[in-house]
Amino acid sequence: MFRQEREATFVTLERTRVVGRKLFGAVRERQPYFLFHSGEKRDPFQVSFEPEPFRRLVRKQMKEPQELGRDGARTWWMFKDDFYVEDEGLDSTDIEALALEVHRRRNRRLSHARAMRDVSGTIPTTRERIPEDVKAEVWRRYEGRCANCGSRENIEWDHIIPLALGGSNTARNLQILCEQCNRTKGAAL
């Protein structure tokens, strides 16, 4: 099992230590440290780092995955400011390959979503109805039969260019398809 752990985080905390004595008590010094918390609700994995090792870790993890610690069979990693956990005994080159694949998939999904947004402007929450005169014209053109297979069963209105990709409710952009042909076309888009 390999997964990105989105709930994991580092928390900055302070320790107080006695560095000397005064007439009326101890001289205390506050020292920061960094606590990694796995983000799990039950039995979270935690490991602390002093300031200098933490700074080195943050620098190094931008270039290659860094092991944060082990919790039984699980190993926690940090790479490019994200956290990962695995229980397969993977090494840093395996973690890097899998983490980069996670980022590639995410970037592909984002690129696709942005392209869809840009093509369609804003995604409408309701569809504009197809005007009755347009429906009548399209029905006459196809004589009430599926434009693909000729069936008269379970006929549906189909946008040749989908509304989400900039299509419109005009007669030129509409056809009638049977339910099966419409589903086949939808799966191919």
Q: What is the pLDDT of residues 160-178, one digit of tens each?
A: 988 878 889 999 999 999 9
Which pLDDT score is estimated for 115? Answer: 79
At 68, list the tokens.
């944060």
Domains of the chain by start residue, with CATH: 2-120 (no CATH), 132-188 (3.40.1800.10)
Tell the residue number behind the tokens 């569809």, with chain if given.
127
Tell me, yes or no, if the pTM score tops 0.85.
Answer: no
* pLDDT for residue 123 is more than 80: no
The Cα–Cα gap between 189 and 23 comes to 80
Give the residue-averaged pLDDT of 19-30.
82
- pLDDT of 83 above 60: yes
Between 187 and 147, name the one with better pLDDT: 147
